[in-house]
Amino acid sequence: MARVYNFSAGPSMLPLEVLKQAQTELLDYNGTGQSVMEMSHRSKEFDDIIKETERLFREVMNIPDNYKVLFLQGGGWTQFSSVPLNLMTKNGKADYIVTGQWAKKAYQEACRYGKARVVASSEDKTFTYIPKVKREDFDLEADYVYYTMNNTIYGTKFNYIPDTGDIPLVSDVSSCFLSEPVDVSKFAVIWGGAQKNVAPAGLTVVIIRDDMIGHAMDITPTLLNYKTQADKDSLFNTPPCWQIYITMLVLRWIKGLGGLDAMKQRNEKKAKLLYDYLDNSKLFKGTVVPEDRSLMNVPFVTGSDELNAKFVAEAKAAGLVNLKGHRTVGGMRASIYNAMPYEGVQALVDFMEKFEKENG
């Protein structure tokens, strides 16, 4: 069948240009006579790939020189453990801002390794907003403050960077990675799973300030100690080479389009199209307060479970797939990451208008 518009929350769409290039060179990368999938991670050919990927990451995100860029395995759940194991080692305390399930799970995992504290939460209103936190809310003895920048399930985003003073700030940026500029220098650690905006599932990128490395607890599994991979430029063991290669292609694509400023413009234009429709619809409505809306994940409902199910099924038949909301929230969710073209959002809005006429 023709390519569909895939609104999956992750893994999710990749740029068509990237997929086509990967397809073209799948049997023979750059005249090597090998697929990237077959390449020794110690070869010159792969070394060129991982070095270019890191260089592009630094360039596109404007990452300062005193930060390492690590290419790791294990997904968000590994970071939920690695963050406290590596960082909760001075006073054994950390402050968590809980704005969704993933932040809550990160907090719960941290509780296993020290005194984690919920400093603010939006669970009282099913995580539909972002709490405002001020510098004086934080424990001056906290080894770090942790938050999730964009909340995939609930469609909220921090539109400010919490002011933590001298306390190191850690953020999970999985679902807004590379979607707009971010001031890396404000963070001690920024990490993100690749499977939304960067590459296929199986790669986690950790951007970490040098002084955060080397203080892990004794119980830390060797591979979860950030120092292990930082000392070896992510080649301590075999990395997920294919995912790193796709990341390189995606970063080239982003750079070619004008970098993160251009991505932000594109993403704002796409999100505006959908939010404007939702704000004017009689049938559909968004679930998030306007000031905390995500550019990446847009949940919406009709008010009727039956109509929701009908919408999801009919949309799928029309080539607009994976619009069902997260199982814990219900309704619908359109994830419109970097690789979703404007035409895809337009097609969704057109379909919603038609559905509204037929079912309004």
Q: Which residues would be at the binding site for a second copy (CB under 8 A)? A: 1-4, 6, 8-14, 16, 19-20, 22-23, 26-28, 31-35, 37-41, 43, 73-78, 80-82, 85, 109, 112, 193, 195, 199-203, 218-219, 221-224, 236-243, 246, 319, 321-322
Least Å distance, CB 150 to a second copy, is 16
CA distance 160 to 149: 9
DSSP symbol at 324: B
* Comparison of 74 and 330: residue with beta carbon closer to a second copy: 74
CB of 130 or CB of 224, closer to a second copy:
224
Per-residue DSSP letters for 227-259? HHHHTTTT-SS---HHHHHHHHHHHHHHHHHTH
Cα distance between residue 64 and residue 247, in whole Å: 20
**CB closer to a second copy, 138 vs 226:** 226
In the complex, minimum distance from the CB of residue 26 to a second copy, in angstroms, rounded to a whole number: 4
∠ CA(301), CA(307), CA(310), 5° rounding? Answer: 115
CB of 44 to a second copy, least distance (A): 11
Catalytic residues: 102, 172, 196
The Cα 70–Cα 74 span in angstroms is: 13
Helix, strand, or coil (residue 111): helix
Q: What are phi and psi of 354, to 5 degrees?
A: -65, -45
Q: Exposed (0-12), middle (13-18) or buried (19+): which is 229, by Cβ within 10 Å?
A: buried
**Residues 6 or more apart in contact with residue 260 via CB below 8 angstroms:** 60, 61, 178, 179, 180, 181, 182, 254
* Cβ neighbourhood burial of 261 (10 Å; 0-12, 13-18, 19+): exposed
What is the C-alpha to C-alpha distance for residues 225 and 232, in angstroms, rounded to an integer? 12
Question: Shortest gap between Cβ of 98 and a second copy (angstroms)?
Answer: 17
Give least dist CB 270 to a second copy, A: 17
Minimum CB–partner distance for residue 257 and a second copy (Å): 19
Q: Contact 190/182 with Cβ under 8 angstroms?
A: yes
Kindly tell me which of 42 and 132 has the beta carbon lying closer to a second copy: 42
* Cα–Cα distance for residue pair 296/196, rounded to 1 Å: 10
Which lies closer to a second copy via its Cβ, residue 65 or residue 219?
219
Q: Please report how close the Cβ of residue 34 comes to a second copy at its closest, in angstroms.
A: 5
Burial (CB < 10 A; 0-12, 13-18, 19+), residue 213, is: buried
Compare residues 327 and 357 and give the one whose CB is closer to a second copy: 327
Cα–Cα distance, 34 to 39 (Å, whole number): 7
Strands 285-286 and 93-98: unpaired
